[in-house]
Amino acid sequence: MYGFEERDGENTIARSGNFLNQSLGYNSLESGDVDLQLAESGAFEESSIYQMARLNYRYNDKYLLTFTTRRDGFSGFGSDKKFGIFPSLGLAWTLSNEKFINKALPGLTNLNFRATYGQTAKRTVERTI
């Protein structure tokens, strides 16, 4: 699997309090108490590119091994390391294909236990405009 993503956004926060004329409210933020006024704005751009590969191995229709690796390139990772590799491993046991389960619970057709472990990264926006 291959993919590419671009995102951008802008935000503005403006607030005030203790208005002399309560009926104006948000239509006249500047009329509030100067110590309670706040105005902030920001913007961001980020992009990522990724590849993923998966390998499945099934043995005796009872046991499944899944190995997945993902390689992500992300503008927010920082200037020193733009790419990261994130592997994962999954093991599954299909109990419903075991003879002792078929005898004990004959109507059961798909009972699995699965355990997985993998690594991820925190995607934070570091680059602002």
Identify whether 129 is part of a domain: no
Q: pLDDT confidence of 20, banded at 50, 70, 90?
A: confident
Answer with the residue of higher pLDDT: 101 or 124. 101
Please indicate, yes or no, if residue 24 is contained in any of the structural domains. Answer: yes
Mean pLDDT of 59-87: 89
Assess if residue 128 is contained within a domain: no
Q: Is residue 85 one of the residues assigned to a domain?
A: yes
* Domain membership of residue 15 as a residue range: 2-118
- Among the listed ranges 14-18, 61-65, 73-77, 121-125, which one has the minimum average pLDDT value? 121-125
| HSE toward the beta carbon, residue 11, CA cutoff 13 A | 6
How high is the pLDDT of residue 80? 80
Please report whether residue 126 resides in a domain: no
Quick one: which of 74, 61, 52, 46 has its CA closest to 118?
52
| Rg of the chain taking only CA atoms, in angstroms | 27
Asked, for residue 125, whether it belongs to a domain, the answer is: no
Residue 16, classed as helix, strand or coil, is coil
Mean pLDDT over residues 30-39, rounded? 85
- Distance between CA atoms of 99 and 95, rounded to whole angstroms? 9
pLDDT tens digits for 74-117?
887 777 888 889 999 999 999 988 889 888 888 888 889 999 99
- Res 16 pLDDT > 90: no
Q: How many domains does the chain have?
A: 1
Q: Does any domain span residue 15?
A: yes
124 located within any domain:
no
